[in-house]
Structure 1
Amino acid sequence: MMRGAIILMTAFAVISDAVLIPFYPQFFASRYQLTSPVHAGAYVAAISIAVMLTLPLWARIAKRLDAMHLLVYTQCAAGVFSVLSYWAPTVPAFWLLSLAMFMCKSSYLLMYPYLMRLEEKAAHANTIGLLSVVVHFGAILGAVVGGFVMQTWGADKCIFAMAAGDFVQMFVCLHLIRSHGIARRCRFAPAERVRLGFAHRLPILRLALLMLVFDFSVYLIRPFMSSYWQAISGSSSELLSGLVFAIPGMVAIVALRINRHGARTGGQPKRKLDHTLGNLLLGAAGLLLQGSGDPLWTVIGRCLFGWALFQIVVKLDVTMFRLSTPASYAADYSVINFFQNLGVLLASFAAGAVVESYGLRTPFFIAAAGLLLTVLLNTLLLDVDRADATQSHDELADALPETGVTARAN
């Protein structure tokens, strides 16, 4: 019950986030007559800054106030700010209200480490894979819903779809609190008092650096993907461009089923499928195909990119939780998320500048080079972490009290 509800909340959160993500250039052009690619890129970057600054704050508050109770307040506030942004008469007013909404909304990311605390480490890979598919599937629905709403009622009505997702999360949290008797005080608070030295944080920081470069490469192509597709296909349909944008999400669903089948047949096929080096190279090839300027090759490239993206994200997230411990999941995840959002931030600024100076195709080539750099960093940093992980985890397991490590949901 608890696990399913948290996954449902994640789905609504991702869907509401993805409604406008592919369409911010069209949104600002339609509502405020702003057509600058740099402005659209800067706005997406500002969203990343908002999440970077607030998630560590929410993680700190969640050490004392249970995250489920925290989300009731923050998601309600996010929905209110979202609705208020609908009536924003100017661009600065829209920025102010919508960024306040994203600051409150970012607290839902705490549900990820919250759920992983309820799972055995042996089940982490399956749970992360499932959540990754939920995220991708949410991106599919969000992009399709956003395209449909824009085409049918106009860009500004997408704001109400985003607010609806926030209020749904609030009500799901209220239901779980009442039905499971979740206390306001975080049950992991005693374990959080353990202070971890720099040596224990170093593997997480190495992984965070790798994920910064990876996320920069992945997100560099996102802000103008729908504009690029419309340019090369000659179609102005937002719904069609939303579907093309969501192709990696569709591929992720297939990848999850294949991975699970491989695991059931002995595990060796699974290890071949999630080979990090191979998937990084496959992702780079997919990005180069997308930059070809041909609609058919672009679709094929998005399929290859989607496969690689799913496998790499699951592998890196499993590595993160292996390097951490249940009592420090939220804190370590906030560190990783900070670097991921820094990568998204840099990608958003770079995307607008690159598109304005060099055109819509160039981000794909830069992103492919970024994945090749990630291959090098994976060899230099992540291979070292595999050796450090076992020692760090064993030492921390001895240092932490029993409570917080073995706790389960009601």
Structure 2
Amino acid sequence: MGKDLIGLIVLLLALAGGGAVYLNAPPPAPWSDAERKAIQSLSLATLPPLPSDPSNAVADHPAAQRFGHRLFFDARLSANGAVSCATCHQPALRFTDGLPRAVGLAVGTFNTMSLVGAAYSPWFFWNGRQDSLWGQATSPLESPIEQGVSRAEATRLIAGDPSYRAAYEALFGPLPPLPSEASGTEQEEAAVTRAFVNIAKAIAAYERLLLPGETRFDRYAASLGQNGPTAPDAQLTHQEAEGLRLFIGKAQCINCHNGPLLTNHEFHNTGVLPAIGALPDKGRAEGTRLVLDDPFNCFSAHSDDAAKDCAELRFMRTGDDLVAAQKTPSLRNLEGTAPYMHAGQMGTLAEALDHYNRAQDAIVGHNEAKPLGLLPYELKRLEAFLNTLDGPLATAPEWLAPP
């Protein structure tokens, strides 16, 4: 067998295996000014300060954070006394649960989204059906398949626990009298709802502390503005660097996964098949209707924002193109948040990348993604880069465990 043929076989094996073998491979090409600018835009160093939440008067109150921390891990806030917020949002899994679909009192419909950096988003849940972090916290508490407590039951727990009652009343004033009947007067029910909302606002105050930390990619991005790596692990391998080049270029990932959280916080139909045995989800097309009807939205009396500007709601995008569109998730800490997609349909990054590479027609609506035509070694490079986005949270350790 000739040397040329042997060399060709070795090269093909290398390509099929993801490019792990390089035959006199040249170093990565220098970054252009445009590429450097794109890379810097993804760096955590460009993340602005946490936006204020005028709808939640205790959003950044230390006492509310401590109170919310306790509530977040308290399984008594469930119908069976065994499910807490932390059941599905586990700190060790970047505040996800490692399951295709969330399991509370029963198996849910959707994959658990991470809470890390969630306070930067204007929309919550895969379809964006709520528009505040505290509004989001109300939903699983009442959901019959998640925690399944009534507003009165949640309020009764606070009233019956002396330390909880003291924490609540220090923040919000006296708890309302609880109705003796299953359903009280209209005034009693309104007072209980206010207390229930305050519980959710305390939980949201805690969740605002959950922030992403610096990764190897961020250290690499910082090194580009200096004369070399700023730390021993601030350099990317050839494969990772070429994956980054694909991410901001040929693969077009940056079109939706942009900014320091690698999400545009928008909604896109990318042709993901429904979970086995499930009907296609309506996605954002349904979410826009639900968020307008939500009794806890920005327009509601429960928002502490006196201005009620509510620009996100007033100028919310609607239309048929949002059928089956789901929220763009952050790509930070992917290693700890599998499986992927809105119902956990894909167990690995390789599966997700293959899906976007093929970009087949959507069952419902229109697939916005276009086939990429990437070769196997290019997909491996992309995966290698995505794994550089994993890192510890920028949250003090005491907040990452039950109090």
The TM-score range, normalised by the shorter chain, is under 0.3
Give the TM-score, by structure 1 length.
0.24
Q: Quick check: which one's helix share is greater?
A: 1
Higher Rg of the two aligned structures: 2
Task: Give the structure, 1 or 2, with the largest relative contact order (CA under 8 Å, sep 6 or more).
Answer: 1
Give the TM-score, by structure 2 length.
0.25
